[in-house]
Amino acid sequence: MPRNIDETSLTPTDGEGESTKREEAGESNDAVIVDWDGPKDPANPKNWPYRRKWAATLVVSSFTFISPVSSSMVAPATSQVASDFGVTQNVVIAMMTSIFVLGYAMGPLFLGPLSEIYGRSRVLQLSNLFYLAWNLGCGFAQNKGQFIAFRFLSGLGGSAPLSIGGGVLGDVWHPEERGKAIAIYSLAPLLGPVVGPVCGAWIAERSTWRWVFWSTSIVDAAIQISGLFFLQETYAPLLLERKAEQIRRTLDAEKGEKKDVHTVFEAAGERSWSQIFSKALTRPFALFAREKIVQLFGIYMAFIYGLFYLFLTTMPAIFEGTYRQKKSIAGLHYIALGVGLTLASQINARYMDRIYIHFKRKNNGVGEPEFRLPSMVPGTVILPAGLLIAGWAAQKRVHWIVTDIGIAFVGAGIILLFQSIQTYVVDAFTLHAASAFAAVSFLRSIAGFGFPLFAPAMYHALGYGKGNTILAVVAITLGCPAYVPPSPLVLLKAEQR
């Protein structure tokens, strides 16, 4: 279990993630150890008013929404881009869309840990500005090399919300309240790539592909302005460091004393610079290497995220090729994916916290991250069912509404799995959730980059029916182990109590 890791190695905190631990041994009598002023300290982000918590949640979710919009919005316009730049290879054309997601894989490995050094808000907003600059540059690209390079760099900056956002929610929400916030946050990176192609198809047909990037840059600039006003720092160790610095200045100015003032995190040896650089920047790799549950969920999320981007990039071929629809009309079928994502997300948001509270009560009031996993069960069934329906309906040229129903099922299954896994990771690694997200998201982003590259060849050789049948079998094979190992024992104990 993640919370049994040795405190000197990865240091995940308990379910609350509060800064309450102290090391009394070896402390000087003159040392001042800075902690929160009791469990109700208003400076603690978990004690913020709901209005302030939801403001931070919505801003982070907005960052997490607009970046993935850019990842897929160009998909319906890739033929225009390829024509302008003289690109004929199918793999290169697919890469023009998926290279953005390769940046998603690389960015969290250092942006997540950096947020645990310099704070969530600062790293998140600077990364968004980096994304904004290169996304704007994509609209001015003059050849395929510039276009692919700018797309990768914008993905690098746009990856920050995918890892840091989960850390923000872990900072401000108690476990009993976290489900609804995670539901909104986890919907954003999946709904964004669905909205993108719908808008991109109309923009590409009525204007030029360059406006695909300029329009998203305009929206992102507005979100960035909102972040400057409503996204405040939430990371407890950094907030306590600021409090400690203020105490140092006060003691020096008023009493002329030079006492040893440090936070509970520094007292435990976690916030010295040597510890920061030896642990924070390597923590994602250490988590993935040592934690079997992170490995399992990382592989499973890689598969379902790859499926998601596979659908995003192949849906134009299905509806423009098989069903002979215009580009703008074919783009509307992304709404089916969005409907599945949204409905399942909202239903799960309504019950996720209730399920958690139910099992917590049966577990003598002790919450466990495993109490987030029951909603994975319908997800592991709905996802392969949707793959089979969508694949064979397209293969047999059944009415397009049947294909859309299958696509909606795929979206519903994906979001149920995403929400369960992401909330589990936040609950299990609260203080270091950003690093844990980096470990889990690395493989998924690699898959999001790679799946669209082999999809055209697979469907050309096997057809949509057999191709999706293979994917459905893999989904079942990975889905059952992902749910079974971590949960039944804990849930059984809770039920017995």
pLDDT digits (tens, 9 = 90+) for 356-406: 888 888 888 777 777 778 888 888 899 999 999 999 999 999 999 999 999
In this model, does residue 302 exceed pLDDT 80?
A: yes
Tens-place pLDDT, residues 228-262:
988 889 988 889 888 888 888 887 777 666 677 87
In this model, does residue 98 exceed pLDDT 90?
A: no
Task: Please give the average per-residue pLDDT across 332-344, as a whole number.
Answer: 88
Tens-place pLDDT, residues 172-211:
988 778 777 877 887 787 788 788 888 887 887 788 889 9
Q: Quote the pLDDT of residue 273.
A: 55
Q: Quote the pLDDT of residue 388.
A: 95
List helix spans (H) across 141-209.
144-158, 160-172, 178-206
Q: Are 384 and 476 in contact (CB under 8 A)?
A: yes
Q: What is the CATH number of domain 45-235+276-496?
A: 1.20.1250.20
Q: Quote the pLDDT of residue 481.
A: 65
For residues 21 and 115, the model is more confident at: 115
Q: Are 474 and 303 in contact (CB under 8 A)?
A: yes
Q: Quote the pLDDT of residue 9.
A: 35
> Where do the structural domains in the chain lie, given as residue ranges?
45-235+276-496
Tens-place pLDDT, residues 11-36:
333 334 333 333 343 444 567 888 88
Identify the CA nearest to 198 among candidates 311, 338, 326, 331.
331
Band (268; pLDDT cuts 50, 70, 90): low
Distance in angstroms (rounded) separating the CA atoms of residues 69 and 196: 5
Q: Are 169 and 68 in contact (CB under 8 A)?
A: no
Measured CA to CA in angstroms, residue 494 lies from 63, 355, 375, 447 at distances of 37, 12, 17, 36
- Average confidence score pLDDT of the chain: 80
